[in-house]
């Protein structure tokens, strides 16, 4: 097997067809899905216009759902999952990228409908890629990953709604998770007064979240119960990753004119509400989607991420795992046993 460094140096033609690289492949088994690290060749990859030598990918709640065979995440089988990747272009039929260019991929249904980042090599549609922002390496990009990028989209959404650091406390729900911990770190870095909502089983994460900049904590049984239409006003803004009664309570506790950026469903997809917060307090509820987010907005988010999330916070939030550890950690995410964000070193 050629080393990937050699492949990059000599060009892919030197290894075409026969040289193998490692990929985590999910396929149908007798009793469900099976995942295994397998040797593939470049000719096994889908026919897209940019071939990338992958450095890192990430593991997220969505892949947890996929490996658990829930929510029809893996739309094609076999599939190489991995909704994020960062690496270097090896070969390109697109005029936008040339060999040697460092690139990032997030979303666009990659890892769901297209093969993704859990491999040492990937072929990706050029429209799905963005250039690695200046001042960022591929490891930092995946420390951030879709989790940090989504957190930044939420922050940008709050800013566009007029939520400012001097407007009063903001709350982040699911704060110990990938998106939540990034949102805490970004908002605190920007000067917001951040309160973190963590469930009772994550109470041990208070110190971790304080280090990221959380000033206060909320939680407890009431967050699992349907709130009154209008609770006491507490929040100028909110980033919600949980949904269900948590989102309902956040909305009912918003200050006059406040905004909630809702991006997740970690607690459930239902939402039982009245119109009262909207019509009596002018509260706004804005949805945030990272997967199909237009190119210009995602580039803007990544440019912000290059400066608005401290490296020290990223180091605290992240742990790095090996390719063959992905199925284990995917199950851990679904069991609620993961704190922060996971990077996958596909070359380890
Ligand atoms: P994680 O699993 O890393 O974090 C989820 C967090 O939510 C956990 O800390 C968990 O804590 C908490 N949580 C779950 N249920 C509850 C509850 N009932 N009350 C309070 N806290 C709860 O997931 P991610 O950060 O990767 O993703 C979070 C959500 O955002 C997911 O639903 C994901 O699908 C979504 N997402 C959406 C994107 C978009 O484009 N819109 C992009 C990325 C993610 P505990 O274990 O204690 O319950």
Instruction: Supply the residue whose CA is at minimum distance from atom 36 of ligand 1.
Output: 264
| Backbone phi and psi for residue 40, each to the nearest 5 degrees, phi listed first | -125, 165
Q: What atom in ligand 1 is closest to the CA of residue 178?
A: 25
Ligand 1 in reach of 177 Cβ (< 6 A): yes
DSSP 132-200: PPTT--HHHHHHHHHHHHHHHHHHHHHHHTT--GGG--EEEESTTSHHHHHHHHHHHHTT--EEEE--G
CA of 13 to the centre of ligand 1 (A): 42
> Residue 117: helix, strand or coil by DSSP?
coil
CA of 91 to the centre of ligand 1 (A): 36
Instruction: Supply the residue whose CA is at minimum distance from atom 12 of ligand 1.
Output: 174
Yes or no: say if 331 and 67 are a contact pair by the CB < 8 Å rule.
yes
Q: Domains (ranges, CATH) in the chain? A: 4-132+310-345 (3.90.180.10), 147-287 (3.40.50.720)
Instruction: Supply the residue whose CA is at minimum distance from atom 18 of ligand 1.
Output: 267
Q: What atom in ligand 1 is closest to the CA of residue 265?
A: 32
Question: What pLDDT score does 35 carry?
Answer: 97
Provide the residue-wise pLDDT of the chain in tens; the chain has 348 residues: 445 555 555 555 445 556 899 999 999 999 999 999 999 999 999 999 999 999 999 999 999 999 999 989 999 999 999 999 999 999 999 999 999 999 999 999 999 999 999 999 999 999 999 999 999 999 999 999 999 999 999 999 999 999 999 999 999 999 999 999 999 999 999 999 999 999 999 999 999 999 999 999 999 999 999 999 999 999 999 999 999 999 999 999 999 999 999 999 999 999 999 999 999 999 999 999 999 999 999 999 999 999 999 999 999 999 999 999 999 999 999 999 999 999 999 999
* Probe residue for ligand 1, chosen from 174, 186, 247, 293 as the CB with the greatest number of ligand atoms within 8 Å: 174
Instruction: Supply the residue whose CA is at minimum distance from atom 39 of ligand 1.
Output: 289
Q: What atom in ligand 1 is closest to the CA of residue 175?
A: 9
Ligand 1 in reach of 99 Cβ (< 6 A): no
Instruction: Supply the residue whose CA is at minimum distance from atom 9 of ligand 1.
Output: 177
Instruction: Supply the residue whose CA is at minimum distance from atom 11 of ligand 1.
Output: 174
Per-residue burial over 301-319, b if 16 or more Cβ lie within 10 Å, else e, is: bbebbeebbeeebbeebbe
Instruction: Supply the residue whose CA is at minimum distance from atom 1 of ligand 1.
Output: 177
Sheet holding 216-218, edge to edge: 216-218, 194-197, 170-173, 235-240, 254-262, 284-287
Ligand 1 in reach of 245 Cβ (< 6 A): no
pTM for the model stands at 0.94
CA of 259 to the centre of ligand 1 (A): 19
């Amino acid at each position: 097997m050629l080393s990937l460094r050699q492949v990059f140096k000599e060009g892919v033609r030197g290894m075409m067809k026969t040289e193998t690289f490692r990929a985590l492949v999910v396929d149908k088994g007798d009793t469900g899905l099976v995942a295994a690290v397998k040797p593939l060749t470049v000719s096994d990859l889908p026919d897209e216009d940019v071939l990338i030598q992958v450095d890192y990918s990430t593991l997220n709640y969505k892949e947890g759902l996929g490996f658990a065979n829930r929510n029809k995440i893996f739309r094609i089988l076999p599939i190489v999952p991995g909704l994020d990747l960062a690496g270097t272009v090896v070969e390109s039929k697109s005029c936008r990228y040339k060999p040697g260019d460092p690139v990032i991929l997030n979303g666009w249904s990659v890892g769901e409908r297209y093969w993704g980042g859990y491999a040492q090599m990937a072929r990706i549609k050029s429209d799905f890629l963005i250039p690695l922002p200046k001042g960022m390496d591929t490891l930092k990009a995946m420390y951030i990953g879709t989790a940090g990028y989504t957190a930044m989209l939420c922050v940008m959404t709050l800013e566009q709604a007029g939520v400012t650091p001097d407007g009063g406390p903001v709350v982040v729900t699911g704060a110990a998770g990938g998106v939540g911990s990034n949102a805490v770190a970004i908002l605190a870095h920007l000067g917001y007064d951040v309160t973190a909502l963590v469930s009772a089983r994550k109470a041990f994460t208070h110190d971790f979240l304080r280090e990221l900049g959380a000033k206060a904590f909320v939680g407890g049984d009431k967050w699992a119960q349907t709130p009154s239409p209008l609770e006491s006003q507490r929040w100028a803004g909110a980033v919600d990753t949980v949904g269900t009664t948590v989102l309902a309570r956040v909305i009912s506790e918003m200050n006059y004119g406040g905004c909630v950026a809702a991006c997740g469903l970690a607690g459930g997809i239902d939402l039982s509400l009245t119109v009262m917060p909207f019509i009596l307090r002018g509260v706004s509820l804005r949805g945030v989607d990272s997967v199909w987010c237009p190119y210009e907005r995602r580039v803007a988010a990544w440019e912000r991420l290059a400066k608005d999330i401290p490296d020290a916070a990223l180091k605290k939030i992240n742990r790095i795992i090996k390719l063959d550890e992905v199925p284990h950690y995917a199950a851990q995410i679904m069991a609620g046993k993961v704190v922060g964000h996971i990077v996958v070193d596909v070359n380890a």
